[in-house]
Each structure stands twice: as structure tokens, then as C-alpha cells.
Amino acid sequence: MKERNPLIDAVRVGSVALVVFAHWFGAYVGVENGAVRVGIGVSGPVVWALTWLLQVMPLVFFAGGYANSAGVDAARARGESFLAKRAMGLMIPAIPLVVLFSAVSTVGGTLGLQPVATVGHQVMKPLWFLAIYLVVVCLAPLMVRLHDRFGLAVPLAMATGVSIVDFVRFSTVGLVADIGIGGDINFLLVWLTAHQFGIAYARGAFARFTRPWLYALIAVSVAAMATMVFAGPYPPSMLGLPGVPISNLSPPTLAMIVLSFAQVCVFLLVARWAERKLSGERARRFLKRANPSVMSVYLWHLPAGAMLLGIALLAPQVLLPSPGLGWWLSRPLWLALSTLALIGVLRVVRRVQLALPTVDSRWPLAGLLICAYGVREATRHGLDLTNPHASHAVLAMTVGVAVLLVESQRSGNRLGAAWERSAGATGRPSSSPSTLPASSALR
């Protein structure tokens, strides 16, 4: 087994750290007229521009594509099912979160505690990433095979599909957040494209991109994004912000793909320098310790903050200042307390996760897709079981996990193995200079 790629680990850890920082730093929570108001404490054109730098989720999917490419290759070499080995591991970080906040949200909804119900719903919203990533992992064997056959034509084709959805969306219904099936198509295609860039990098598809070419591609990407916003119909923000009716995030647009490609080009530009910086033993040791906790950090950073908010809501006029000088001055202390809360939460969660079973799932594809559907519905409707839509989401996740827990026999893995064979289990091996073990994909 080849060594890990510390550069990919650094991208994953750094990207999630930036997401956590943005959520903690920019969040505003207050009480107005007896109701909890959740929003963002900063807004305006300057912040819109900053969102193009702060939006790093494409890099998270890029790192996942690299890792999943290596995992698919490793599973093929061993004659195993990539999905069967990884399926339950992908859901383990989310199970304690769903159980805890189902109870909290349901109690809040039953007792009419609106602040509790609101916070419980907000905590679930970032899980849109998990819902999409579960589907992307299911498609990973197929996407690796498609790259081996068609190369960079695959992300180009998906970008074309996103363009068609955008054209229909902006030309017929305008800037509307929910466009039904079109939004779901873009959610899948946009993030699958970022994931495909990671597969392409693992396969060495960008090796011929010289530095002059990279500078030119970055310049073209920036010019394209500016044109799409200022001369086209695309919204100015890459994140949901006050005063912006819609962003390029929900559902994602072609602008997110352009941003993703620009980020990949910047990554390639600094790769050699970054590899030298990460070559030391201290950096490798840090990444080795931090990488396994990335998914847990992403899932639990908002719940950790919510626990602090629960205390702050006891005296909101003092502990939750309105946007302004007092709010800005409170940010360093809020970041420090949130970090301490997250560390404490993760210690408890880790013990729970270690007690959960991991198996070679017999029906990994079916289980993951059912879980993905349940997580998606939970991000929309929350986890308050007094809400029929939320109870439906929790039921779907429960069924999905139950399916994943059906352990395969040596002759098992039928559905997962059949899917991976149809996706091309005999594809050529990776040409990447270094790969990751199957268990290291974003977890």
C-alpha cells in the first residue's frame, strides 16, 4: 500500500477548518419579539466578494474524489467491494447527531419551546453535504471508470448539463431558490464535477498543465465568474447572505463549477511549494491525527455552538449582542469558547462512535442511497418527530442504517459488487504518484 498524500489531507483539513471558522465567526443569533432569529452578522458587496474565497466546499469534494479513486483501485486490487467496506463507516459519524437532535427537537416541538426547535433545525442544514457525498461515493466506481475511458470530457459533459439547467432556470422562472428536479440535478452534477476533478488529479490528468497555462486558466476563470455575475443572471454570493435572495450554493450553479476549476488550478500552482512545507515529520503527524476527525468536526461544529447558544439564550441581551461593535468584539471569545466546546463534544462522540458496529455491508448501494434520501429530507424538515416530514426522514435513515448493518458473507456483497463490476471493475490502475488507502476517503 502506498503512502498517503499529505497535500490532499491538508486540503481536506484546511477546507473544513475554514468552513467551521466561517460558520462560527459570521453567525448571528438573537431574540426578537420572543422569537429566536438566526442569521449572518455581516453583509454587503464586500462580503459577497469574500464568499468567492470562503466557499471551499469544491475543494472538499476534490479531495474526496482523489481519495475515492485510490479506494476504488485498492478494492479492485484486493478483489473486494469498495462500497461494502466503506458504507457503514460513512454513516457512523452522523448517527449520534441524528439520535441526539431527534430527541432534542422533538421535546422542543412537543413542549412548544420555539428556540430549541429552531436551533435543532439549523443544526441539520449543513448535512446537505453528507446527503450529496453519500450519493457521490455510490457513483465513485462508475466515475473512475468513466474518467479512465473519457478523461476530462466527463466533467465537461456534466458542466454542460448544469448549464442547461441554469438556462431553463434563469430564463423561465428567474431567481427562485427551489426549482424542483432541476435543483436536485444541479446538486448532484455540480458536486460530482468537483469530485471528478479529484479523480482526474489522482489519474495524473493535470500533469501537463504548465505554470503559464495555470495562470491563464485562473485569469479566464475569474473573468468568466465576473461576467456571469455582472453581465449575466448569476447571483453575486457563493453563500447564503442577508439581502441576497439566492446564492450560487442552493442549488449550486455553473458559477460553482467555474470556481471549483479555478481552485483546482490554484491548488496545482502551489502544489510543489505546499509539498515541501508538508514534508516535515511534525506536519505529517498533525495531518495523520486530524484527518480521521474531519467528518466529525464538520457534523458537530454547529451542535457545539448550539450548546453555547443554549446558555447564551438565558441572557440574550448581554451574551448575544446585536450586529455592531459589540458583536465584532465578541468574536474572538466566541471562537475560543466554540473550539473548547467542540473538543469536549468530540471526545464524547468518539466514544459513542467506537461503540457502533462496522461491517462489510451486504447491500451497501441500497443502504447508502436510502440514508442519503433520509439525510436530505432531514436538512429540509429538521428532526422534530412531531412533524410528519421529519419523522419520515428519521425513518428513512433508520432503515438505511439497518440495511447497511446486514453483514456480507464471503459470497455476499452482491448488490455492491454487481454495481462495481458494471462500472468497470477491471479499469486500469491509477497513474497518480501517490494514493490513499480505501479507508482514508473523507470520513
Contact assessment for residue 157 and residue 146, using Cβ atoms and an 8 Å cutoff: no
Alpha-carbon span 440 to 443, nearest angstrom: 7
- Per the listing, cell 420555539 goes with 114
Is 397 domain-assigned?
no
pLDDT in tens, 401-443: 999 998 866 444 555 555 565 555 444 444 444 333 333 445 4
- Name the amino acid, one letter, at 138: C
Is 407 domain-assigned?
no
Alpha-carbon span 240 to 232, nearest angstrom: 19
DSSP string, 410-427: TT--HHHHHHHHHTTTTP
- Nearest 5°: the CA angle 217, 223, 227 is 140
Which helix (H) or strand (E) segment holds residue 59: the answer is helix 57-78
DSSP string, 235-287: -S-SS--TT-S--SBTTB-HHHHHHHHHHHHHHHHHHHHHHHHT-SHHHHHHH
Task: Tell which residue, 295, 342, 299, 436, has the closest CA to residue 13.
Answer: 295
Is 399 domain-assigned?
no
What is the total residue count of the chain?
Answer: 443
pLDDT number for residue 175: 46
pLDDT number for residue 431: 43
pLDDT above 90 covers a percentage of the chain that reads 41
Average pLDDT over residues 369-378: 93
The better pLDDT of the pair 79, 260 is held by: 260
pLDDT in tens, 60-105: 999 999 999 999 999 888 888 889 888 888 899 899 999 988 888 8
* Cell reading at 229: 455575475
Strand partners, 407: 361
Strand partners, 31: 36
Is 392 domain-assigned?
no
Average pLDDT over residues 317-335: 79
The better pLDDT of the pair 186, 115 is held by: 186
pLDDT at 290 over 70: yes
pLDDT number for residue 439: 37
Task: Tell which residue, 199, 218, 220, has the closest CA to residue 267.
Answer: 218
pLDDT number for residue 44: 66
Is 377 domain-assigned?
no
Contact assessment for residue 189 and residue 155, using Cβ atoms and an 8 Å cutoff: no
Alpha-carbon span 431 to 225, nearest angstrom: 32
| Residue-number span of the structural domain to which 18 is assigned | 6-80+114-339
Average pLDDT over residues 274-279: 89
Task: Give start and end residues of each alpha helix (H) in 112-127.
Answer: 114-124
Q: Residues with Cβ < 8 Å from 429, sequence gap 6 or more?
A: 73, 77
pLDDT number for residue 34: 61
Which helix (H) or strand (E) segment holds residue 39: the answer is strand 35-40
pLDDT number for residue 433: 40
Is 156 domain-assigned?
yes
Is 330 domain-assigned?
yes
Torsion of the alpha carbons at 148, 138, 271 and 46, rounded to the nearest 10? 130
pLDDT number for residue 237: 84
Average pLDDT over residues 225-236: 89
Identify how many contiguous H helices and E strands the chain contains and give both numbers.
18, 2
Average pLDDT taken over every residue of the chain = 83
pLDDT in tens, 177-197: 446 677 788 999 999 999 999
SS3 30: strand
**The 3-state secondary structure of 278-345, one letter per residue:** CCCHHHHHHHHHHHHHHHHHHHHHHHHHHHHHHHHCCCHHHHCCCCCHHHHHHHHHHHHHHHHHHHHH
Average pLDDT over residues 46-65: 89
Tally of domains in the chain: 1
pLDDT band at 222; cut points 50, 70, 90: very high
Is 12 domain-assigned?
yes
Mean pLDDT is lowest, of 225-229, 356-360, 363-367, 369-373, for 356-360
pTM, two decimal places: 0.86
